[in-house]
Structure 1
């Protein structure tokens, strides 16, 4: 009697390693303080608002960028600059967030939500009771999912239709405003 013929098991071939960070969020948002961080922040804004969307000609930089109370937030995805947002006070207890930009190659990587949350938290930590933004119409639903509310009819902002929106920073993160214990 002959030995039973076993099916041939295919040989396992090595594959290149997959870049997965298990249990680690690859997105890190932080204020840009040094020249490298500010440069990356402005390059992202230029790539999105000037080169891609054509909202500005030449540069999207304005007088607000030179203010000392402006916070330029940079989002890194696995260490690579991926998004940016700018925020600054507009009056007692009020802040404005603007220039939210995510590079096209990172738009599926959930960069926008952490950027918006970081901006709201930063404003709230600095005493903001209300944060406002002029949001492109296509992004209104995204902001609603983050707790923002529509604050008026569609208006023209930088020559294009935008929706005025607002949020109370303490409502998003009460412990940042010192209103609840951690």
Structure 2
């Protein structure tokens, strides 16, 4: 075992370099194309080419384990999407740090509100992280999702630091 006592094995960071971006896209492809079949060939879209998009890579003990993507959609408004965790890391606590990192990154960039289209099975997970449901179940990329959001800009909340 390579874990150190008292040291969190999870680390999230923007995927700025080519290697990090390749890992980010590899994880998304494995989860959304191969495993969940949400997209037929690729989940890459025009948002991936935006200069203001933040591609985030979640590492567990230094190994790429998950991703999330975020970008502004209007003045003070951000959208988080493409939250993906590889199956072998789903019990390793990667998801919450990825969501918290995305929220903090949007807030640090002047965001006041962040939204997401969350798979129905993950709605309670987002509620535990302080998000609220913003409407009925809707079809997003051909599957049932729940529109959710969280207010930003109030400084660090207890759930963000915990």
Q: TM-score range by the shorter chain?
A: over 0.9
Can you list the C-alpha shifts for 1:121-173, whole angstroms capped at 9, x where unaligned? Answer: 00000011000000000000000000000011110000001000000123472
1:115 corresponds in structure 2 to: 98
Give the structure-1-normalised TM-score.
0.84
Q: Does the 8 A contact of 1:150 with 1:163 survive in 2? A: yes
Specify the alignment match of 1:81 in structure 2.
Answer: 64
Counterpart Cα distance in 1 of 2:153 and 2:4: 31
**Pairwise CA RMSD of aligned residues?**
1.0
* 1:105 equivalent in alignment to 2:88: yes
| Secondary structure at the counterpart of residue 25 of structure 1 | coil
CA distance in 1, matches of 2:81, 2:75: 18
Map 1:62-81 to 2 at 5 A. 62-81=45-64
State the Cα distance separating 1:21 from its structure 2 match: 1.9
Partner of 2:37: 54
Matched, 1:162 2:145: yes
Q: Structure 1 unaligned segments of length 5 or more: list them.
A: 1-17, 175-182
Greater relative contact order structure (CA < 8 Å, 6+ sep): 2
Q: What's the TM-score once normalised by structure 2's chain length?
A: 0.95
Q: Which residue of 2 aligns with 1:146?
A: 129
Higher strand share: 2
Q: Which has the larger radius of gyration?
A: 1
1:96 corresponds in structure 2 to: 79
Distance 1:21 1:85 in 2: 26
Aligned residue pairs total: 157
3-state DSSP of counterpart to 1:170: coil
Deviations 1:97-122 (A, max 9, x none): 00000000000000000000000000
List structure 1 runs of 4+ shifted beyond 6 angstroms. Answer: none
Partners in 1 of 2:22 and 2:73 — Cα distance? Answer: 24
Question: For the residues of structure 2 that align with 1:77 and 1:88, how far apart are their CA atoms?
Answer: 24
2:160 is matched with: none
Instruction: Give the distance between the partners of 1:75 and 1:171, measured in 2 at CA.
Output: 25
Cα deviation, 1:69-95, whole Å, max 9, x if unaligned, reads 000000000000000000000000000
